Amino acid sequence: MLPKEERLLANLFLNFIENKKKQMSTVNPNRLCFDEWENTIKDGANFVITCKSIDPENTDYFELLTTTSNFLYYKSEELDLEIPNDRVENGIIKIQNSYKIGVGKKCFYHNMESIWENGINSINFGNSITIITKEDEQNKKIKMNLKFALKGTLAERIYDGEFIKEPVKVKRLSFNGVELPFDNGTRLVDETFYGCLNTLSKIKNTLERFNIDKDLV
C-alpha cells in the first residue's frame, strides 16, 4: 500500500484523467457548459459527482472528495451521457445521522452532524460540542480531539457540561454502542471548567428554590 500522501497525489492525477475522458467524449465538444444544455435538462434532474482511487480498499472517499477538485455532472437519461455542469473545489460534505452518543451504557445524545472539510471529519452534537477525528495510519487507530463551549439555555449548558466530564473521566466514548478510546480532552476539562459547571448548577438550584422553572438563556 502506498503512503497516504503519495496515494492522494496518485488519486488526484487519476481523477483528472477520468474527467478529461468524460468531457472529451461529450456528443458535442462545443457544448461543455451547463447553460448550453439548458433545453435538455428537466425538473428533477440527477446530478452526480464521481471519483476514483488507485487503492479503493484503503481510500476514504469522503476525504478524497473534500481534498481534490471534482466535477459536478448532469446525468441525462435521454442522451445517456454525463454533461459537465460545474467544478467543485475542496467540497464540504454534511451528513445528519441518528447516532447514540454516550459513555458505557448511558446515552446522552441521539443525533449528530458529521462534516467533512479539507479531508478532516468533525462530529457535532449537543449545542456546541465537536469531536474532530483523525486517522493514525501508523498505529491503525482513530484519534479524537474534543472542542466545546458551553452555550444554549442554562439547562442545556449544564447537560452538555455533565456529558463532557464522563468520557474525560473514563477515557472511553461510545457511538451506537461501540466503545472507542478517548484521551484527548483532559487539558480542556480543568478547574476553570468544573468551577463554571458548579456555578451553573448553583444558579439552577437557586431558581428552583424560588419556583422559577423557566429555562434561562
Strand partners, 13: none
CA distance 190 to 186: 7
Residue with cell 447514540: 100
1 pLDDT above the threshold of 60: no
Question: Percentage of the chain surpassing pLDDT 90?
Answer: 30
Helix (H) or strand (E) holding 170: helix 154-170
Query: For residue 19, what are the CA distances in angstroms to 106, 120, 199?
Result: 48, 24, 58
Contact between 118 and 125 under an 8 Å Cβ cutoff? The reply is no
Would you tell me the crossing angle of helices 154-170 and 191-209 to the nearest 10 degrees?
140
Q: What is the pLDDT of residue 38?
A: 59
**Spatial distance between the Cα atoms of 3 and 35, rounded to a whole number of angstroms:** 41
C-alpha 57: how far from its chain's center?
Answer: 21
Rounded to the nearest 10°, the torsion over CA 99, 104, 105, 108 is: -50
What the block records as the C-alpha cell of 138 is 501508523
Whole-angstrom distance, CA of residue 134 vs CA of residue 206:
42
Q: Over 70: is that where the pLDDT of 49 sits?
A: yes
110 in helix, strand or coil?
Answer: coil
d(CA 104, CA 172): 8
Residue 127 sits at φ, ψ, to 5 deg, of -90, -30
Mean per-residue pLDDT, 159-178 = 91
Full-model pTM: 0.74
DSSP assignment, residue 57? Answer: G
pLDDT in tens, 60-90: 889 889 988 888 887 766 667 777 778 888 8
